[in-house]
Structure 1
Amino acid sequence: MSTALPTLSELTEHPVIQAPMAGGVSRPELAAAVSEAGGLGFLAAGYKTPDAMYEEIRQLRRLTRRAFGVNLFMPQSRTADPAAVAVYREQLAGEATWYETELGDTEGGSDDAYDGKLAILYEDPVPVVSFHFGCPARGVLERFAKLGTYTMVTATTVAEAQTAQWAGAQAVCLQGIEAGGHQGTHRDDPQADASVGGVGLLSLVTQVKESVQLPIVAAGGLMRGGQIAAVLAAGASAAQLGTAFLVTAESGANPLHKQAMTNPLFTRTELTRAFSGRPARGLVNRFMREHGPYAPAAYPQIHYLTAGLRKAAAKAGDPQAMALWAGQGHRLARELPAAQLVEVLAAELSVVREGMSSRGGEGHA
């Protein structure tokens, strides 16, 4: 028996979605605070075991009765060149010695326990499930629809958005090149330069709006209510913000990561494969400068290879070898409680909308 699906506007009071940030950032406290304030909070199941994901869902349900989402990483095909990974391991040997740690095992699975997580979400449905690094099979999305779970697929091109529509997703999350963290491309081209390419968010929203009928969630560099107004005017139904929520008190990001967002030592961001083997945007630091040009297209192998290094650098208080994921708007980060940030964004959006409405009225006077 099918359950009636809510619309995106019914899931959230304000068109503000907190991006799912893997690695412990999007913890239950953050998602709950956002949902309670009228936004849509998200848990990130990436890199977690199915049991750990379920425990976070249980924690979140104790903190809020409002809608929330869970984000899954799609399984990745093992196309990495083992020789290239071995060469990169040798290149990082000096880093391991410096930080007195071991380089990680790259032989682990590449499916991120996808089937196990699906089984839990089928058995105990949540309001929203989103997908990164690809599009699920039609059968997966149809099963979620029958359970009453709203589904979103991340896309970075018109073609990927069309794939999401054909597969039966309820919405598409468009990720512009400005976005922090991993680009949600459905396929990573090993020949592509990680530092170039991609489409700006406003252009992407406009292009997809003219070719896809799904509701659009816009993501990438958004830090202010005025920017949310801009993507809504371009055709989006809601905005998804990651970096803006990374610095909040409820975020599980490392304090060094939070401080780096507005630290004048970190002036710009770049896309790099240095930490994970897949293009991801972060603050430019020593590790990225020294190793980014040589990192192979090998995800998640490089992610596991560098995991110990990143933890050791954080323990040593050294942000120069941490993955400081950040969007292009990172200097606009505001250290507010998550609920207050939602309220401020909604107020800023309201002011801009009122201004646009009054200007429109003047034009017809």
Structure 2
Amino acid sequence: MTSLFDTAFPLIQAPMAGVQDWRLAAAVCEAGGLGSVPAGMLNAQGLEEQLTQLSAATSKPWNVNFFCHTSPAPDPEGEQRWVDALQPFYDEFAADTSAIANGPSRQPFDEDSAAVLERFRPAVVSFHYGLPDPALLARVKATGARVLSSATTVEEAIWLAENGTDGVIAQGLEAGGHRGHFLSDDLSLQQGTLSLLPQIADAISLPVIAAGGIATPAGVRAARALGASAVQVGTAYLLCPEATTKSVHRQWLQSDRARHTALTTVFSGRPARGMMNRLMDTLGPLPEAAPAFPLAGNAIGPLRAAAEAQGSGDCSPLWAGQFASACRDVSAVEVTRWLAEGWS
């Protein structure tokens, strides 16, 4: 894997939209890992700005990550029902319902993003929720980039191997943030990293990157022993000064609350793992009223801002994996080199 990506260590920093920008990616690259820029919430202009900064900050290889979801049809009635369900919290935190945005907040990979990649030619491009359509994927491959995508089941890994990836990220159930499943929404099919990883490694001949619950050198060693060609780590970087993690999020990560995470659709409409808070507890982690991804996030935005302004994390998507308590408040360089000890 180090020769495939030309990195010193077989370690990928997981792309984490909302808690990082090019600075974290650059620091990981300079430390010998593969830094990643999350593009799921960026338009073409925003993506170009991020990649311009990153390419100026490091000459090492880096990764850009995109979503491949299908944008939902407008659902004004469903979104209003969601606002109604959130109203008690709007009242409590004096949030402004007139500030609720319209339309999807996250866009799937498209021609505009492909054009940006053609100018910057990243070493690696990774995807979440499958792969883009064949024409767009061909444009990515024509840049010379290696292509990765997340699999949460053996069936997804086989599909990815048959449809053009150069490697598969085995995303275990422990992973923070959004689940990458795309062949089925049945959460009962999801497995932990230590059971999913060896099954995928046995099922495909491509390199397999382990992700989910890996936050220490011991976790890296375990993944390697079970057939991983590399590891992808996200949560361990959340307290780094190079991350843009908000103060409320940082406080929770350094408390006992970091031990309790759950999959929830409250904040986006799609299952994602974060620290359990009052909004999740009140509505239930997987409420039926939540609109389709990513429309559920529209009503959350003003509520989150109002609550965080009062020092509360009760209405925020505090994404974190199940080993969030292993987070350390040190530089990204130190975290990367510490994790790399598990591979030596």
With structure 1 as the length reference, what TM-score do the two structures score?
0.87
Secondary structure of the equivalent of 1:319? coil
Q: Superposition pairs for residues 128-277 of structure 1, below 5 Å?
A: 128-187=124-183, 189=185, 192=186, 197-277=189-269
Letter in 1 for 2:121: P
Secondary structure of the equivalent of 2:25? helix
What runs of 5+ residues in structure 1 fail to find an aligned partner? Answer: 1-5, 351-365
Structure 1 position 339 matched with structure 2 position 333: yes
Equivalent residues, number:
340
What runs of 5+ residues in structure 2 fail to find an aligned partner? Answer: none
Question: Please, what is the CA RMSD of the aligned residues?
Answer: 2.1
Greater CA deviation, 275-284 or 129-138? 129-138
Q: Superposition pairs for residues 318-329 of structure 1, below 5 Å?
A: 318-329=312-323
Describe the superposition over 1:220-241 as per-residue Cα deviations: whole angstroms up to 9, x where unpaired.
0101111111111211111000
Structure 1 position 284 matched with structure 2 position 279: no
Secondary structure of the equivalent of 1:98? helix
Letter in 2 for 1:119: A
Letter in 2 for 1:261: L
Letter in 2 for 1:137: D
Using the TM superposition, give the Cα deviation of residue 84 of structure 1 relative to its aligned residue in structure 2, in angstroms. 4.1
Secondary structure of the equivalent of 1:321? coil
Using the TM superposition, give the Cα deviation of residue 115 of structure 1 relative to its aligned residue in structure 2, in angstroms. 2.8
Describe the superposition over 1:6-27 as per-residue Cα deviations: whole angstroms up to 9, x where unpaired.
975443111111100001x221
**1:73 equivalent in structure 2:** 67
**1:361 equivalent in structure 2:** none
Pair 232,138 (structure 1): closer, same or farther in 2 beyond 3 Å: farther
Pair 163,40 (structure 1): closer, same or farther in 2 beyond 3 Å: same
Describe the superposition over 1:18-39 as per-residue Cα deviations: whole angstroms up to 9, x where unpaired.
100001x221111111000101
Greater CA deviation, 66-75 or 92-101? 92-101
Using the TM superposition, give the Cα deviation of residue 50 of structure 1 relative to its aligned residue in structure 2, in angstroms. 1.2
Pair 111,344 (structure 1): closer, same or farther in 2 beyond 3 Å: closer
Taking the aligned partners of 2:342 and 2:335, their CA distance within structure 1 comes to 10
What percentage of residue pairs aligned between the two structures are identical? 36
Pair 207,153 (structure 1): closer, same or farther in 2 beyond 3 Å: same
**2:11 equivalent in structure 1:** 16
Q: Which among 295, 298, 304 is matched to residue 304 of structure 1?
A: 298
**2:87 equivalent in structure 1:** 93
Secondary structure of the equivalent of 1:151? strand
Query: Is contact 1:106-1:305 (8 Å) kept?
Result: no
Using the TM superposition, give the Cα deviation of residue 136 of structure 1 relative to its aligned residue in structure 2, in angstroms. 2.0
Pair 54,188 (structure 1): closer, same or farther in 2 beyond 3 Å: farther
Using the TM superposition, give the Cα deviation of residue 47 of structure 1 relative to its aligned residue in structure 2, in angstroms. 1.1
Query: Is contact 1:133-1:154 (8 Å) kept?
Result: yes
Using the TM superposition, give the Cα deviation of residue 286 of structure 1 relative to its aligned residue in structure 2, in angstroms. 0.4
Query: Is contact 1:188-1:278 (8 Å) kept?
Result: no
Taking the aligned partners of 1:241 and 1:230, their CA distance within structure 2 comes to 14
Q: Which among 123, 128, 136 is matched to residue 119 of structure 2?
A: 123
Letter in 2 for 1:117: S
Query: Is contact 1:178-1:220 (8 Å) kept?
Result: yes
Looking at CA atoms only, which structure, 1 or 2, has the larger radius of gyration?
Answer: 1
Secondary structure of the equivalent of 1:308? helix
Pair 96,187 (structure 1): closer, same or farther in 2 beyond 3 Å: farther
Query: Is contact 2:213-2:322 (8 Å) kept?
Result: yes
Query: Is contact 1:310-1:321 (8 Å) kept?
Result: yes
Letter in 2 for 1:202: L
Taking the aligned partners of 1:288 and 1:252, their CA distance within structure 2 comes to 23
Greater CA deviation, 145-154 or 243-252? 145-154
Query: Is contact 1:17-1:240 (8 Å) kept?
Result: yes
Pair 82,102 (structure 1): closer, same or farther in 2 beyond 3 Å: same
Letter in 2 for 1:325: W
Letter in 2 for 1:139: A
Pair 281,44 (structure 1): closer, same or farther in 2 beyond 3 Å: same
**1:313 equivalent in structure 2:** 307
Q: Which among 41, 44, 51 is matched to residue 57 of structure 1?
A: 51
Describe the superposition over 1:163-182 as per-residue Cα deviations: whole angstroms up to 9, x where unpaired.
21111111111110000011
With structure 2 as the length reference, what TM-score do the two structures score?
0.92
Letter in 1 for 2:11: V
